[in-house]
A and B are shown apart, each in its own frame.
Chain A
Amino acid sequence: MKHKTQLRLLLALVFAGLLVTPLLINRVNARRHQANAVALGDSASLARHGFYLQEIAHSAGIDFVHQAPVLDAKLNPIMPEVASIGASASVVDFDKDGWPDFYVTDSAYGTKNRLYRNMHDGTFRDVAPQLGIADVNQPGTGVSMGAVWGDYDNDGYEDLFLIKWGRPELFHNDHGRGFTRASDQAGLPPWINANTAVWFDYDGDGLLDLFVGGYYSEDVDLWHLKSTRMMPDSFEYANNGGRKYLFHNLGNGHFEEVSEKLGISSRRWALASAAADLRGTGHPDLFVANDYGVSELYLNDGERFHEAGSKSGVGFAPKSGMNVAVGDIFNQGRYAVYVSNISEDGFLIQGNNLWVPKEGSRDSGLHYENMARDLGVELGGWSFGAQFGDLNNDGNLDLYLTNGYVSLDRKKSYWYDFAKVAGGNASIISDADHWPAVDNRSHSGYQQKHLWLNDGAGKFVDVAQAVGVSDTYDGRAVAMADFFNTGALDIIVANQRGPLLFYKNTVTPRNKWIEFSLEGTKSNRSAIGAQVTIHWNGQEQVQQIAGGCGFAAQNDSRIHFGLGATPEIEQIVVRWPSGKIQTLQSWKIGQVNLVKEPE
């Protein structure tokens, strides 16, 4: 009897221990977070992390505040929710002066997009109006959602594809002196409600093709709704979104739409996409992150695409995909893919995905495992745009993530009302009339951003606040470029209904770097899809030129490598989209190396 009582007492203690466990785990996590949540100051940050960031938009001549679209009045009760995207940022050297410029979109009727020309003195000047790509948000034509740049006619200057909820536009770059509308000649459809597009040469013919992912169905005019049944018909399995387009470049300024013919036919709600040769086949594959559903992975066999999301593991669990960034985070010559989703304490913990290819799976069929939790990059709030880049030049790719959905009244939350409808049946969720009014409430608003520093040993540590990132705007697009040609990757962040932020990066001179500017000859001239692999100090890192990545963003087409303090480069190999492999014979550390594809 006594023995039994003792056992019961012991069980009660164990039970109490079980109840206390979550509290202990929370405390440990909070302590870990707090350690890096204090602003260090510039010199301390430089000493500890090897870099610091300063927000200099205003002093650099950038005073841009994004305005959200105002859609059909029938959507007024939930307008902040449906009009919650549109801020974008894409880096381009449109005038070929060797200094990266950038383009940002506005999203209300009558507003103007901006093309900030790099003035080489630390400042930027908006030249969009005089070059003809500012006034593109006119009533009846829809509004801008993003932009991607690629030289579709191989004349040496990057052309602009404007992603819209409305009439998509292609602008030909007239040698940096102006832009000519080429949409009609290109044969683009009259209306697409898109949020993502990617330039890539899927068939290796030396001409850039274009993928466009629809969000709302293309037969919906969001300013003149025929019906309020235009919302997703499921929070995680929606299949009533916009169609996807693959425009094959015919080489004469015309494009042929070939998506269905080549195996791309989903109607999931695409929000982000990126193209990369994930299997080393020489053919760029296409990764699409969908809102309200699973991601899609279209493997390219050179002739058509095969959807392998489920088979590869990336399309198994439905989430709210909002970003696709590609990076060789382990310095093993293999790309990992970062997809952002939603995490909000107490409501929804989807967790972001860091898809890492399983060892040896490249040849036997690609299989990914989600290592976001193991590496510490899983929880990022209502996450949007993210990009990989070596921010302290230590030789490891770091990760910048922006977030925050709708920041209105700080004290009131829309989460409860959102959750009760999001869990409902298709007939309820798909009709905007059934959604409770937002009433100025916040929805995952005012969130702290994340900058995860890759320690090179399998962990990412969040140092955002420590190195100077303290904003809490509703972040959307992130783009990186060495804007001042100093060997440091700067960061621009486009915020929804908020100011454009320019984080200037200062990196310790101890760490070395090298950059490459590529020009294709047989391959497309933008060299989009070209890969540079550096072998140094017994490791290798591969990077590629992308025709769009992240969320509504595009990084600089120049490839930046951090090399650490004492680099000894063994080999640099360029693989061109044409299939040509070029081993560089000479290079200069601390410089931008110009590389032209051998004839």
Chain B
Amino acid sequence: MSAHTLPIAANVSPAGMPPTRWRRIFSLENRFVPPVFITVILLIGHFSFGILESFERTLLAIITSIVIELLLGKVFVGTWPNVASAYISGISVGILLRSPAFWPYALCAAIAITSKYVVRVRNRHIFNPSNFAICVILFLASEQVTTLSIQWGNNLGAMAVIWCLGSAIIWRLRRFHICATYVLSFLGFAILRAHMVGDPVLSEISPITGPEYQLFIFFMITDPKTTVRSRLGQCSVVFCVAAVEMVLRLHNNIYAPLYALFMVGPPALLLEMWMSSRKGRVEQNLQNRIAGSPAH
């Protein structure tokens, strides 16, 4: 998951004047929105329905994330990094991971943050850190770990609050098209899947009504650090995520969305990097050619 730093929309008032301090604080357009939002999700989910395995485990994941982020940031970047992104990673691990043991929370958080500094291409990390770490843990420690897969209570209240709040925030952050494309793709593929396997349509739609998907949609697939830049590209990528997820679901994989993002996200980023470097080279060649050609 980990939106890390969700994109911050231009923070300028209509009149072109800098916003007031209070407006900045209460605006949806500030860097604290994602951490606050995920904390709200955690608190609503937990105090309404006790979704956490325990406070201690979630706290362990958060502290591990922040400590490692501070350490690695200082050592490899030379400055103390902003820990908002690490906080989101930790809290994501704390919510999404389900294990009676403590060590998976610490290990998963450690893998998430470390991956940002190790798995890099052209000085950019290509995996969504939480997604990477959770997939690794699910794959390698399936005897000890699962993900949050249950609903939040038996009423629509909590779910509606999170969908509405999440949509509003994502809209202001100009990434609603990513979520909408994914949801529509999921629903389309769910209907197709139901048709193919002969199960009730609602049973195929059912997973997206659970909290795991709310976190996945609002925090993971919208992570600006690990998504491509163009709107069309972003929509295409999440459509591909939904498509790969469908294939995984046809093979009875219950972690299908997480694995799908794991498989689709990095290749999409690499493709974008390759295309932009190719474009850069072509432009450079063109410029060189223009510079080298005789003057008219």
Identify the A interface with B (CB < 8 A): 4, 7-8, 11-12, 14-15, 18-19, 21-23, 25-26, 29, 233-240, 294, 316-318, 345-351, 372-373, 378, 413, 415-417, 419-426, 428-430, 433-437
Contact = CB atoms under 8 A, between A and B. Distances in A.
Contacts of B80: none
A424 B209 contact: yes
A346 B99 CA distance: 11
Contact of A426 (B103, B136, B151, B249): B151
Contacts of B154: 233-234, 237-240, 426, 430
Nearest to A232: B154
Nearest to B210: A423
Contact of B115 (A15, A29, A416, A417): A15
A53 B241 CA distance: 53
A281 B191 CA distance: 59
Contact of A423 (B75, B111, B202, B206): B206
Given A8-B76, A433-B200, A317 B54 contact: yes
B151 A234 contact: yes
A423 B114 contact: no
- A-B interface, 4 closest residue pairs, ranked by CB to CB distance from nearest: A424-B206, A416-B252, A351-B100, A22-B141
A12 B76 CA distance: 13
Contacts of B200: 433-436
B141 A26 contact: yes
Interface in B58-91: 72, 75-76
Interface residues of B, number: 56
Interface string B116-159: 01100000000000000000111011111110011111111001
B136 to A, nearest CB: 6
A425 B203 contact: no
B149 A421 contact: no
B110 A236 contact: no
Contacts of B99: 349
B101 A22 contact: no
A233 B107 CA distance: 34
B118 to A, nearest CB: 4
Contact of B203 (A18, A350, A435): A435
A426 B143 contact: no
Given A7-B76, A351-B100, A434-B206, 9 more contacts: A21-B107, A26-B141, A347-B146, A349-B99, A415-B252, A420-B249, A424-B203, A426-B151, A428-B205
A8 B200 CA distance: 51
A119 to B, nearest CB: 45
A5 to B, nearest CB: 11
Nearest to A424: B206
B206 A428 contact: yes
Given A22-B107, A434-B203, A424 B151 contact: yes
Given A25-B141, A435-B203, A423 B212 contact: yes
B283 interface: no
A14 B52 CA distance: 29
Given A317-B54, A435-B203, A423 B150 contact: yes
Given A426-B155, A436-B200, A18 B110 contact: yes
By CB atoms of chain A within 10 A, which of B76, B143, B149, B197 has the most?
Answer: B143
A58 B126 CA distance: 63
A14 B111 CA distance: 10
A429 B72 CA distance: 45
Nearest to A7: B75
